Amino acid sequence: MLDQKLLDTLNDQMNHEFFAAHAYMAMAAYCDNNSYDGFANFYIEQAKEERFHGQKIYDYINDRGEKAIFKALPAPKVDFNSILETFEDGLKQEQDVTSRFYNLSEIANEKKDYATISFLNWFLDEQVEEESMFETHIDYLKRIGDDSNTLYLYEKELAARTFNEEA
């Protein structure tokens, strides 16, 4: 049985993970609409990863004998000025998720819920990778600038991305 504050925060995070997937699909739609199919693929695969994270929290809540509570998702941002802006927004989103997992970890530590502490460690490690990935893409896009040939090659690289639950 989970402490109520911890359960409420886990449910909030589960919903936020599904919102993140929603936001990444909005970024994919922007990319597709602007004929950036490779970047669209990147965000579609990123959305799959966020849904996986939401499902992981859902399963944990249920494994602990509690009920996952779904809430309405706010509409994500749908208008962007550039591919770079989508990645900058993605980084901000991942930084927000990291701070949410820090908060969850603090609550779990406060409640001495060692099973949840262990569960959350996976997400904390994952967030290091997520932020680093977005920072790298931002660096690359800034370096590429207006070089359409290099952007084309970079987009082709991202078109090959696939989400693997086992990774």
Does some domain include residue 93? yes
CA angle 142, 19, 154 (to 5 degrees): 25
Residue 130: C-alpha distances to residues 40, 70, 79, 138 (Å): 17, 24, 23, 13
Percent of the chain beyond pLDDT 70? 99
Q: Consult the annotation and say whether 46 binds a ligand.
A: no
Any idea what DSSP says for residue 162? -
* pLDDT at site 154: 93
- Tell me, what CATH number does 103's domain have? 1.20.1260.10
Does some domain include residue 104? yes
pTM: 0.94
pLDDT higher than 70, residue 147: yes
Does some domain include residue 166? no
Q: What is the count of structural domains for the chain?
A: 1
Does some domain include residue 25? yes
Tokens representing 63 are 């494994």
* pLDDT at site 61: 98
Q: Consult the annotation and say whether 106 binds a ligand.
A: no
Q: Consult the annotation and say whether 22 binds a ligand.
A: no
Q: Consult the annotation and say whether 17 binds a ligand.
A: yes
Does some domain include residue 165? no
User: Residue holding tokens 């990444």?
Assistant: 24
pLDDT band with cut points at 50, 70 and 90 for residue 165: confident
Q: Consult the annotation and say whether 95 binds a ligand.
A: no
pLDDT higher than 90, residue 123: yes
Does some domain include residue 61? yes
Using one digit for the tens of pLDDT, what is the confidence trace for 64-116? 999 999 999 999 999 999 999 999 999 999 999 999 999 999 999 999 999 99
- Domain assignment of residue 153, given as a range: 4-66+76-159
CA angle 5, 7, 9 (to 5 degrees): 70
